[in-house]
Amino acid sequence: MSLFSVATLAAGRVFPGAEEIPFDDKGYTTINPILPPLKELIPGTMASIIVFTLLAWKAGPIIRESLRKRTAGIQKQLDDATAAKAAAETEAVRIRQAQGDIDAERGRLYAEADAQAEALLADGRVRLAAEVAELEARADADIASAAGRSSDELRSEIAKHSGSAVDAIVRDTLDDAAQQELIENFIARVGASQGVTS
């Protein structure tokens, strides 16, 4: 028989229940569906007190220390979280500022690119206009030159053919009599002149 059974039997003897049912081999029974018979209630209560007192005495500091450490850990986690939140907010501010800077830089770059593109466009237009003017002038000069050249070539061609024609006609005309006449004329003319020197 266990200590609990012994205590229960002793309590049953000291505090008998009104509606108590006699003890059998299985213990005391009661007809109350909630409360046990007094013989079990009293020692059970005392045992519980003892057990809880012992627990409070022996395990309490350990549990308190554990709870304190746990509280400290949670507090630390809360502090860390707060610090992290503050850092995150700082970072967010920095990022927002950086984003603002980026937006400003982007705007500046866009403005600069627009200005450069405008300048290039203006320069290109000026250069294109100059090139077009130069090309037009050159084309005009080429046309004038070609016209002049054609005219010169035509004149030259006419002169060449005329010269060839004259050459051929004169050679055909110069028979022996004409040759002799030319020679005689030369002799007569030179003979008539005097003082021919270099």
Partner 1 sequence: MSGDAMIEGYARALFEVARAEGTLDEVEDELFRFARSYESSDALRNALTDEHIPAEKRQAIVEDLLGGKTTTTTIQLVSMVVGSGRSRDIPAIVDSLVARASSAKQLDVAEVRTAVALTDDQQARLKAALENATGKSINLKTVVDPSVVGGVVATIGDTVIDDTVRTRIEQLKSRL
Per CB under 8 A, residues contacting partner 1 are 158-159, 162-163, 166-167, 170-171, 174, 176, 178-180, 182-191, 193-198
Instruction: Note whether 45 and 35 are within 8 A (CB).
Output: no
State the CB neighbour count (10 A cutoff) for residue 17: 19
| Chain-centroid distance, C-alpha 18 | 89
- CB closer to partner 1, 32 vs 197: 197
Output 33 or 195, the one with its CB closest to partner 1.
Answer: 195
Q: Which long-range contacts (CB under 8 A, 24 or more apart) does 169-177 make?
A: none
Min CB(124)–partner 1 separation in Å: 53
User: Measured from the CB atom, is 2 or 193 closer to partner 1?
Assistant: 193
Angle, helices 3-14 vs 38-54, to 10°: value is 130
In this complex, which beta carbon is closest to partner 1, that of residue 133 or of residue 182? 182
CB of 143 to partner 1, least distance (A): 27
Q: What residues form DSSP beta bridges with 24?
A: 27
Question: To the nearest whole angstrom, how small is the minimum distance from the Cβ of residue 127 to partner 1?
Answer: 48
Q: Shortest distance, CB of residue 161 to partner 1, whole angstroms?
A: 9
Asked if residues 39 and 16 have their Cβ atoms less than 8 Å apart, the reply is yes
